[in-house]
Structure 1
Amino acid sequence: MAALRRTESTLTVLDEDSLWELLENHRHRIVRSICPSRLTPYLRQAKVLDQLDEEEVLHSPRFTNTVMRVGHLLDLLKTRGKNGAIAFLESLKFHNPDIYTQVTGLQPKVDFDNFSGLMETSKLTECLAGAISSLQEELSQEKGQKEALVRRCQQLQERLGQAEARAQSLGQMEADHDRMKREVSAHFHEVLKLKDEMLNLSLRYSNALQERELATTRCRSLQEELYLMKQEMQRHKMSSSCERELRERSLQMTGVLEPGDKELSRLKEENEKLRSLTFSLAEKDILEQNLDEALESKQELVDRIHSLRERAVAAERQRKQYWEEKEQTLLQFQRTKVDCDLYKEKVNALQSQLLQLQKERDQAYSARDAAQMEISQKLTEKDALRRKVFELTDQVCELRQQLRRPKAESLQGPKQEAGTREPCPKGKQPLVRMFALCPRDDSNSSCPGPPESQLCSDLTATSNRELVDSFRSSSPVPPSPQSLYKRATEDFREDPWSLGGFPEILQVDRGPSPGAKAGDADLDYEIVDRADVPECESSLQPCTGGLTLSSSSVPVRRRLARKILSQVTVLAFQGDALLEQISIIGGNLTGIFIHRVTPGSAADEMALRPGTQIMMVDYEATEPLFKATLEDTTLEQAVGLLQRVNGFCCLSVKVNMEGYKKLVQDLEAQVATSGDSFYIRVNLAMEARAEGELRVRCSDVLHISDTMFQGRSCWHAHRLGPYSTKGIEHGTIPNYAR
């Protein structure tokens, strides 16, 4: 620093070593106080760094902090020589003027006249503008961060307020909890006191009972003594009365028998002695007997007292047990009451949700009914419009015939006398509706035909009858294949000649009428080549009885069109207990067919008949909409799927009478028991537990020919030989679910 003066020109005068020595002396301060992302744009403009160097400095994983990045930046600039040092000092002048002053001792003044010249003025301006924009962006980012921090601080303050309010509520709840605990403890002490009082009362009661028992025993003993005293008194009274009588008699006898006084007195004394002896022995026996009875009663009373004491102790123990059980029952009652309240709340919530779901279901049902009603109305309107279109078409045809009739009469003449017919000029290819029932061979098309008048009348009658029959039903539901077949049979019975003579011609379009254009979407037409249809002059005039049609004039047709009855049709109806409405047969090999239909059921009303193959079932369930394909399913799987149908369902069906008849013939001839056929490999061994069951071993290959054998949930299997596909043994095995 001493070698440098206060002029900026001295930096450019210094050589490379002096400049880098100056920077290395302040390297520690530079790497700690500089952000490399601010300096790299200027250094790239000065062409001392390229893009790779900038990415290495800013984003290399080797440098984990800013100090290492700035150090690596200085190392890269040192390889650039003097230009690197000057560019680095100039970048410090713009972005870190304090560091620039500390390193060089110069003031950070920008003088374009004395600039280093490493970059042009325009580029320097761009660099400064970029630096200013980056600083402005950083300032805006800092402002945004400040606003975010302010918002965060406000949120934290709000959360702090909520936490304080929650803490206050928790403190209040804790105080309530402490108060309730104190109340519970006080009540508990009161309960203990009451228990002690009850114990004292029970003890006093037991003592009183014992005293009462003692008093009763004492009373009984006193009563016995009183009874004995009464007996003694009675004996004394009797003895005294006897003595008085004896004395009286003795006094009476003294006067009579004086000489026998002595002997009498002696006898009396002996008698008295004997009496005293006899009385004392009897009394002794009585007293002994009373004593024995008293001892026995005393022993009984003692035993009774002991038993009563034991019963009292057991009663006290039982009372304590009952008291504890009562407290436990009260606690359980309180808990059960709380649980009951919770369950009531849950049930109320579930009932409210159920009511909402019922309302939504009713709304959905009403919307569905309204949509179905609207669809049916649209279909009826469409049918009415079609009728009107065909009526107008008939009127237009009649008007055209009336217009063409004068022209045809003017053209008739020598041609009518000669009986020859010239071919009409070839016009537009006519659209011919082909007969869709009982197609015949091409050989029938060459048979001779009736007169042209009869042909025209037949065509008119057939077309009119078809127009009526096609709109015979006003129901929005499409007609079933059986209904179409019935209509065609009735047409054949009404006019078999017209269908037998010309089976391929049903309706000819005599002109592009609006009715024909409107009906093209609903009718099946075939375009016949112009070379195959010779047009006659009579096509421009009405048919008369005088004209005849030779066999050579009949156009040669292609094979007759065949109506495809095997197209898949979707039928929607109420499918509650679907397997009670229909019964099915078949399997994965033949398909699932309807075998029987319950008369009067919803399936019968939808014209489902035996021979209809079920392709798909689609029905509403508690889960999302369920859809299953029955084309390749076994009979067991089909029964399981159709058993799940409960409610409104859609069946995708098609008529497959050939497959159904073949399956029924095989079942009647006992060639097969069902339409199932697949192979399995057994992965466990099973013994034959009942008659008819098949004993299988592990790794046996079985051919399953029936998954609902005799209506049960078991499979009918054939064991295959190791070198052939023929069944060696056959029997039943449990199904996959069992």
Structure 2
Amino acid sequence: MAGECFPESPKLGEMGEEALWELINDNRHRISLGVRPGILIPYLRQARVLTEMDEDEILSCHNLTNRSMRTSYMLDLLRTQARNGAVALLESLMIHYPTLYTQVTGCKPSTEPSRFSGLIKYSELTEYLVRAVTGMQKELQEARCEASRKSARCASLELEIREIMDLADKSNCLQSENEHMQRHVCSLQHEVTKLKDEKCDLYMRYTAAIEEKSAVSMRLHDLNLQIYQLQTELQKAITENEFQKRRSLRCADSAEYPQLQEEVRSLRCQLVKAEKLDPARQDILAQDLAEAIGSQVELAVQLRCYREENEQLLREKQALLDQNEGLSLQVQQLTLDCNMHQQKSTVIQNQMKELQAERDQAYLSRDEAQTMIARILAEKDTLRCQLVELQERVFSVQAKRSSRELQRQSCDGELEVDWESLRSNFEEPPVSPPRVSDRRRLCRMDAINPMSMLSSFNSVCADASIRSRDVEPPSPESLRRREKALYADRSLESMENEFLLEDFVFIPCVEGEDEHKPRLSSSDDSSIDGMSRTSVPSFLMRSRQKAIRVSGRVLSISLQGEALLTQLAVVGGNKTGVFVHQVTEGTAAHTVGISPGAQIVEVEYEQNQKALRMVLEDSTLEEAMWALGQVTGLCHLSLRPRQDDYDALLQQLQSRETSSGDSFYVRVNLTLPAGPNWTLALSCNDILHVTNTRPAGTEDSWHASQVHPCQLLDLKSGSVPNYYRAQRLLIRAIEDMSFQTKKSLKVWRMVSPNKQKAVRIVGTRHQGRNPLWVSVENEKTKSVESGGTSAPKSCLTLMPYSLVTPHFPLVCRPVLLLPTILGHILNKKMADWQGFQLCEPEVLSFSEHAAQQQRSEILEECEQERSCCYTLQSVEKVMKKGIHCVLPLGLDCVRRLHRAKIFPIIIFIGQSARSARKLKSKLQRHSQSEEQLLVCSRSEEPLLDKLPCLYHSVAPDSWCDQTSLLTNLRTIIWEEQKKIVWVEPDLW
């Protein structure tokens, strides 16, 4: 191109802005491919057409992934500088890319570019070039210094490589030793496993032998009872035989009567012979006979009297003999029974002694087994620690070796490859042995929990009738069945109850599980329940003054509980549990061994000859102190040792993180004004977080805080009336509203100036337990109620506060508009919004309808056809899409949705005659009238207070037409979606 002729550059200075940029845009592709932005930017910065921020954005923006995109973006930024940008770009091209400048402009590069641009003076350009050359010289010098440092670094790395090779040899030796140790540990593990299997077999055989011995003892006991019964029957037969013999002897005496009759007959014959004598003699004899007859008559009368007396005496004698024989038989029977009972008690005592000896032997064997297991595990843990240390050493050596290899590779790469290949080498993951955290965790394989086996032995040794053939401990149901079997023999009832219930039964404690408030099902409960079912009094009156029965982790302590709160002080609440805090020395509580740190699970006592039991495991501090204050006389406290939880509670109380162990949320059902002493102003449907039910200095107040609607944060704190005082205030408010006096109306207007609801009528039946009350159970009343034919009458109790639990829905909640007439009109409008969909009914067969009806999955049936209904699956199908489901249903679907953990947004649009007229045309299209809308609104508004959740109410004068109403509804739904859902328990 030596012969080519180029136009002079001043022509560019005469070109306008559009012409210059048209020239640049014609060659935009060529400039984007051939220019590096980093080379031109210093000159463009000097010309003041680019700023420092522009430079950072061009070179550092993540969206500009290659050089062409960065150059193109730089041209766009220069375009904003009009003609100065174009001139500066061409001058930079003339300096750094003269060939490209010639290709773009068609002009020969000039040595004085500022002659036509005027952006940079010639002297400034010279200064800029000098600074650029100086900077490049400095960079060259730094590069040479860096090369010398790299060479020294290479020499040092070679020395380190030699050291690493030596360490590699040592690591190989250590690895071989490690493998040897692993093989040794594996052999030890096999031996331990073999010993465990042998021990388990011994336990099984020992358990089977104990069960066989128990079965033999029970069989021997049955045979002894049969022998005693046979002996009793034999003795009774012998006695009856003797009695029959005596009766036969008395019958033999009746054979003397014929002889007497024969004598009387002979005397009569002699009397006939005497009548044949002479008359004188006959007269004498007649006179003698008359005298004899007279005397004989008297004697006959006396004889008859004597005979009658004799017969009476004989009858009395016979009755006395019979009575004597009956009494002798009873005495013999009682003697036999007494002997049998004595022998039976002797047998039982011998069996108990044998069981105690077996139990002691089992304890000794258990201790020996535990000692052996602990020793084996300690040795195994020691070997594991040694193995872990060796592995750590091996891994550290290998990690050092791999890191040094990487450093050596990086140094070689610096000398041979460019920076891009070096970066790729560093990004490749090094091949190194697995880390300690990545290898498989050490665990005991095929191990048997010794505590479960020991607990099974304890339960086997403690139970008097061993019937189970499993090594695992028996369940509470099997223990209750065994108690029933023990109580079956009525003759041993009193003796066995005293022996088994007071000195022998040690039932393991079975703890329940965390929905909402799990209640402990302890061994004491099971024993008491079992006694109540077998006619044994539920409240045992012990013969000794102090008795402690250990049942797993729960202690049942008996003591004299007069003025129990003066004997001990309590702290805690429903969140942490109620703990014994202080025990007065010298009192009954101190004598029986009650110490601070024990949780009071429940208390039992007698009142008016009734056994009462109060469950305090999840009660508040106020209710616990009230329950303990009711105790009079002998009582039983069920305690659970929880020293760590008690110490944590004391630390929180001392640091004033909490004021008590109470923590629960309630919904306020009445409106009260603010009062003195930091008393909060309460509004109906407010949510309170109660943190102390017995604040210092007050007995009828709680310390509570208002809750943030969208987060579990406490806002304003203060005191509120406690449950019982609030209940009285609620009743007084209802009475004032019922009488409608002028004074009460004025007060309620002052309390709720914004037409807010003053009270909310919420009650619970007597059968359903209020979560804010102590559970007081009467064993006798409970048995009568369960066995009676007629249920007791229910009573309604007004609730000033309702216990609520928070829920945090993660998906879009369904929307329910009320009244239903207005909801049917607006549902289709809402379904047209983005993020909303109308719930569609499903057609079900008869079997599907019956099955879903039984599972409570049918929300509502369509009026047109019974087989067509709205189901729970149709709502869930819409919710899975991440949008709001518009429910064309009524209030009955709310509780069904709550059971499925779906919490709809309930919006009630209040109605008046004026607001109904605004919707007249819409109502007529749906064949409805204004009166029907008002009636529907009045009938559904009271039902809202019966819902177990909060709802949003829209005032009738807050909207002017349908468009503004829909706008308000969209805003309300967006706000309600962010709020916490508070749900009450169903107490009905």
Could you say which structure has the greater relative contact order, defined with CA pairs below 8 angstroms and 6 or more residues apart? 1
Q: TM-score, with normalisation over the residues of structure 2?
A: 0.21
Task: Mark the structure with the bigger radius of gyration.
Answer: 1
